[in-house]
């Protein structure tokens, strides 16, 4: 009786809520929604009170719910609690009673004997448990754990590139290993008026066999690069039309971004508008937007899963890769094409970065202009191209007999919240990003022995990133750092995609490419961590690839050999 008396205010409210759900059907829909909203608010405010109810009170309440409301209260509770009550609902076991305090297991065990695989298993196990927020007694009730769910693993099964050093992943990486530079004098337009006249420009490029001629004439280069790199990633992954016909198209997606979008299409439209709007390209708006490359590729393939683009300046590709992997992990997709593409080597693009005072002016020796970590660096060199990874759920890849290049372990992104173009003075955002990526991946700092750095060849950026990396990994004597930008320049939104391909190639081949032009390291930069002027043999255990962008966007992704 005492329990019933204690519960009476709650029971009275529940009866009222049930009756309003089941009996007030003559009211208009808008009135019902308003009343329900108010009740939900009261429900949320009183959850702490319910936790104090005794076991008898909980049993009484359940009987009351069953008698008066039937399935109607389930709908109400589902709306409030974000899950659907079932027979096991009131006996669910929360984290607080399972022996975990939550965070240590989430970020991996700190035991020295626990390896990376076990930490990832622990994290996956924790993700399968449910924190039950329910009307139940605080203690004294037998509980039943929800069945454990297995973490879906993401692997890389294909790669596609369009770069100044080649349009095939193997040719591209072979050139990197040999220290070949793709930086030269700009040829596509007259840039004599600019103080910078060099770039990582793509000299030869054909759309034959990849894009319909009519579209090829109308599309911006960033879209053409994206379409071709995406299709080459599929071909590299062994996905033929016959194999694709067997895919669930609703679980195949495209997430390829761009920092700058269709700059040339938009610029040409402005020039046409000076004459008349009738002279404008009718496709100038859709073909200038950053999302349209992903959309056009999905239309071409018939893929109906997640499809969009992310634009976070020069961090774009890593944001796309991480989000694409998360779609697979959550079961929303089995296959994702992800990466980035940019083509901003046009007068307005070059002029804009010159105005920012961000570009190198080593015009007389283009191959030596991009000099990450070197004391004589004077800015980055613009590049163009696209890099795309074919990400696939592990079991899906194994069923079709795919060649697995590497495993995607995780990543993270943060914001400096400091300055539009300058890095945070103490590298706080970068350090936080790396630490979150390690936690998300379930790996320790000691596991990481290769880093493909963002290192653009800017005075402030290179040094701040290096200091952040030393803060996180400086105790690892096996650590090797390099910068792909030393040979191809900075591909802006495509940089992370192309560098992800270089990172996977390092894992595959056991070779890391050199840092060219690193003749005199900046003060505070220890050469022992940096790859020298020649390629080096390295058994990559875990690799990290960084990308940062204007606006303070930081991103890190972590890849490793498939085990």
The whole-angstrom separation of Cα 342 and Cα 321 is 16
The whole-angstrom separation of Cα 168 and Cα 488 is 15
| Contact predicate 110/437, CB 8 Å | no
Q: Can you read off the two tokens belonging to residue 89?
A: 């609902």
Residue where the block lists tokens 């319910």: 50
The whole-angstrom separation of Cα 407 and Cα 257 is 21
- β-bridge pairing 154-162 and 385-393: antiparallel
Q: Can you read off the two tokens belonging to residue 350?
A: 């070059």
Strand partners, 158: 390
List C-alpha distances in Å: 540 to 96, 342, 510, 537: 39, 29, 7, 9
Strand partners, 381: none
Closest CA to 555 of 352, 360, 333, 310: 310
List C-alpha distances in Å: 287 to 5, 134, 221, 281: 68, 50, 10, 10
The whole-angstrom separation of Cα 447 and Cα 453 is 17
Residue where the block lists tokens 């019933």: 4
Torsion region of 71: left, alpha or beta (phi above 0 gives left; psi -120 to 50 gives alpha)? alpha
The whole-angstrom separation of Cα 457 and Cα 466 is 12
Name the DSSP class of 90.
G
Closest CA to 336 of 311, 300, 303: 303
Residue positions annotated with a catalytic role = 314, 454, 490
| Contact predicate 75/43, CB 8 Å | no
């Amino acid at each position: 009786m005492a329990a019933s008396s204690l519960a009476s205010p709650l029971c009275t409210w529940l009866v009222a809520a049930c009756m309003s759900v089941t009996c007030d059907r003559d009211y208009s829909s808008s009135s019902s929604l308003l009343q329900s909203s108010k009740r939900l608010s009261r429900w949320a405010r009183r959850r702490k009170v319910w936790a104090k109810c005794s076991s008898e009170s909980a049993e009484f309440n359940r009987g009351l719910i069953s008698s008066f409301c039937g399935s109607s209260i389930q709908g109400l509770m589902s709306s409030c609690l974000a899950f659907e009550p079932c027979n096991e609902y009131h006996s669910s076991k929360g984290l607080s009673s399972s022996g975990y305090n939550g965070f240590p297991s989430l970020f991996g065990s700190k035991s020295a004997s626990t390896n990376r695989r076990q930490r990832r298993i622990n994290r996956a196990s924790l993700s399968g448990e449910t924190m039950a927020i329910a009307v139940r007694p605080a203690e004294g009730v037998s509980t039943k754990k929800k069945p454990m769910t297995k973490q879906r693993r993401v692997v890389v099964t294909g790669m596609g590139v369009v770069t100044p050093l080649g349009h095939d992943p193997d040719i591209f990486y072979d050139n990197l290993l040999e220290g070949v530079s793709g930086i030269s004098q700009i040829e596509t337009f007259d840039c004599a008026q600019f103080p910078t006249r060099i770039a990582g420009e793509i000299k030869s490029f054909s759309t034959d066999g990849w894009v319909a001629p009519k579209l090829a004439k109308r599309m911006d280069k960033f879209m053409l690069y994206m379409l071709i790199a995406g299709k080459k990633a599929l071909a590299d992954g062994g996905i033929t039309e016959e194999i694709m016909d067997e895919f669930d198209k609703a679980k195949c997606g495209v997430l390829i971004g761009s920092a700058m979008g269709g700059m040339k299409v938009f610029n040409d439209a402005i020039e046409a508008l000076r004459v008349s709007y009738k002279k404008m390209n009718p496709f100038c708006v859709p073909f200038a937007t950053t999302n349209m490359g992903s959309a056009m590729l999905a239309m071409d393939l018939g893929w109906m899963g997640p499809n969009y683009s992310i634009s976070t300046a020069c961090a774009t590709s890593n944001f796309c890769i991480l989000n694409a992997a998360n779609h697979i992990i959550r079961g929303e997709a089995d296959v994702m094409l992800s990466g980035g593409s940019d083509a901003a080597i046009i007068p307005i693009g070059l002029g804009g970065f010159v105005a920012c005072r961000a570009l190198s002016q080593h015009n007389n020796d283009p191959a030596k202009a991009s000099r990450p970590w070197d004391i004589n660096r004077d800015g980055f060199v613009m590049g163009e191209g696209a890099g795309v990874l074919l990400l696939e759920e592990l079991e899906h890849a194994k069923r079709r007999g795919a060649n697995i290049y590497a495993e995607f372990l995780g990543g993270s992104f943060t914001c400096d919240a400091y300055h539009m173009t300058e890095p945070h003075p103490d590298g706080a955002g970068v350090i936080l990003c790396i630490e979150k990526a390690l936690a998300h991946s379930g790996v320790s700092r000691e596991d990481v022995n290769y880093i493909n750095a963002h290192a653009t060849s800017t005075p402030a950026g290179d040094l701040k990133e290096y200091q952040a990396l030393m803060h996180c990994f400086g105790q690892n004597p096996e650590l090797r750092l390099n910068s792909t930008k030393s040979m191809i320049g900075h591909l802006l939104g495509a940089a992370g995609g192309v560098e992800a391909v270089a990172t996977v190639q390092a894992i595959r081949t056991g070779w890391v490419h050199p840092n060219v032009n690193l003749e005199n390291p900046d003060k505070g930069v220890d050469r022992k961590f940096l790859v020298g002027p020649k390629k080096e043999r390295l058994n990559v255990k875990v690799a990290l690839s960084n990308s940062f962008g204007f606006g303070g966007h930081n991103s890190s992704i972590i890849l490793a050999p498939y085990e």
